[in-house]
Amino acid sequence: MSREVPDISVVVPTRDRPESLALCLAALECQSAESLEVIVVADAPGVAASRARADAASLRIVPFAQANISAARNAGIAAARGEVVAFLDDDAVPEPTWLMHLLAPFGAGRVAAAGGYVIGRNGFSFQWTAREVDCCGVARPLALTGPDPVIRTGTHTHMVKTEGTNMAVRRSVLLALGGFDTAFRFYLDETDLNYRLGLAGHATALVPLAQVHHGFAASSRRRADRMPLSLHDIGASTAVFLRKHAPLARVEPAIGAARAEQDARLRRHLSAGTCTPEDLRRLMQSFEDGLEAGRGRLSGALDALPDVDMAFAARPQPASARSVLLAGRNRARAQLEDAARALRADGAVVTVLMLSRGTLFHHAAFGPGGIWRQGGGQFGRSDRDMPLISAHTLRGRAAREAGRLRAIRHPETPEIRIMG
């Protein structure tokens, strides 16, 4: 296609998390990008949750029962009609400008893939930023400065790393590469694709302003406190990745390092009281069992995926560009919430800033009603570059937060309203 900004399909695989999926889809309603279709690849609870939505007619829902993230993503690719396919986990919510930023580098014809940054549970700290990965699946940070996208290709030792919950790839490239390798049922699935993209000489853009909040919701593999329930798939995917990409001499040392990493992870839970010695023993055995299974697991068929003739299922209209930040004291909570619901019903992107008079650190999240909520002290810190205590009036603090969010939350300069 010759357009500067291509059509995009967002693929959301979901399993056993209909409540998280509902928030994810609500956040996608707020996207400022045009020419967007949303594809939900879902188990039975996810299908039911998707079909119950008011916007269900604008979703492409793909029923999918198999517990395999790579196979689910491939089903989404097969159903996608956009020139670019983006991937988002069901326990993630994107900022409203996510796709606008993530798509921008594809205007350069040589860019085959793009990846953004991932924010953790407090709504401010990054889980993952720019990284690269070696032939053993070990990632290391890349030092990028500034907000602008950076386009890179792989080297003889490292390939550009993207995160499975915040990445996009040209559909033609995905089809040619055979999509995701279904031998990776969970873990290292996108890393394997990153490595194959690099080996094929494709360029990847790293996009700091394309930001997604990732909650690490509970699943069949982990609890809400991130305590794993099984390490089998991690062990299996580690073995598959090393067999595919690592020189033979590096395989056993890499397995030893992966084993030590998982042991250390469990011992942190043991110290925190969220894991017992018996849990540690059982889970490390599941890792060993997974390694053994992975050593004999064949890669999924990576022939070119078939191209299916379907129409692009664009949503009826892009989200409103109107943005409003409502700020007030905790005593004005009811007034702020009423105003926020009314504005959101009118299509605005709404942030509620609820401030106490103290120095509490801030927290932020996307929540019920499709509203972004941030709370903390009027003089407290909302990012690590701020001092622990900073002097602001209520209006001044609201203006500061609106400015901080300008590039990622609000496609237009937000209107600020002080209430209560």
At 324, is the pLDDT very low, low, confident or very high (cuts 50, 70, 90)? very high
Amino acid (one-letter) located at 402: A
> What's the pLDDT at 301?
60
- For the chain, domain boundaries: 1-319, 323-419
Does the pLDDT of residue 103 top 60, yes or no?
Answer: yes
At 316, is the pLDDT very low, low, confident or very high (cuts 50, 70, 90)? confident
At 2, is the pLDDT very low, low, confident or very high (cuts 50, 70, 90)? very low
Ordered DSSP codes for 131-174: EEE-TTS-EEE----SSS-EEE---SS-EEE-BTTBEEEEHHHH
At 67, is the pLDDT very low, low, confident or very high (cuts 50, 70, 90)? very high
CA-based nearest residue to 179, from 368, 343, 288, 308: 308
CA-based nearest residue to 191, from 117, 139, 251: 139
The residue whose two tokens read 């299922």 is 313
Distance of alpha carbon 260 from the chain centroid: 27
> What's the pLDDT at 48?
98
Tell me the average pLDDT across 125-137.
97
* Range scoring the smallest mean pLDDT among 15-19, 85-89, 301-305, 337-341: 301-305
> What's the pLDDT at 317?
67
Tell me the average pLDDT across 282-288.
98
Q: What is the pLDDT of the chain when averaged over all its residues?
A: 93
The residue whose two tokens read 């089809």 is 175
- pTM for the model: 0.93
CA-based nearest residue to 152, from 165, 136, 125, 133: 133
**What is the C-alpha separation between 196 and 65, in angstroms, rounded?**
27
At 262, is the pLDDT very low, low, confident or very high (cuts 50, 70, 90)? very high
**What is the C-alpha separation between 51 and 313, in angstroms, rounded?**
15
**What is the C-alpha separation between 92 and 94, in angstroms, rounded?**
7
> What's the pLDDT at 1?
36
> What's the pLDDT at 338?
97
> What's the pLDDT at 254?
98
1-319 folds as Spore Coat Polysaccharide Biosynthesis Protein SpsA; Chain A (3.90.550)
pLDDT (tens digit per residue) in 7-60: 999 999 999 999 999 999 999 999 988 889 999 999 999 999 999 999 999 999
pLDDT (tens digit per residue) in 193-205: 999 999 999 999 9
**Both structure tokens of 344:** 């959101």
At 319, is the pLDDT very low, low, confident or very high (cuts 50, 70, 90)? low
Does the pLDDT of residue 358 top 90, yes or no?
Answer: yes
The residue whose two tokens read 């509620």 is 352
Radius of gyration of the chain (CA): 22
> What's the pLDDT at 386?
86
**What is the C-alpha separation between 420 and 418, in angstroms, rounded?**
7
> What's the pLDDT at 318?
62
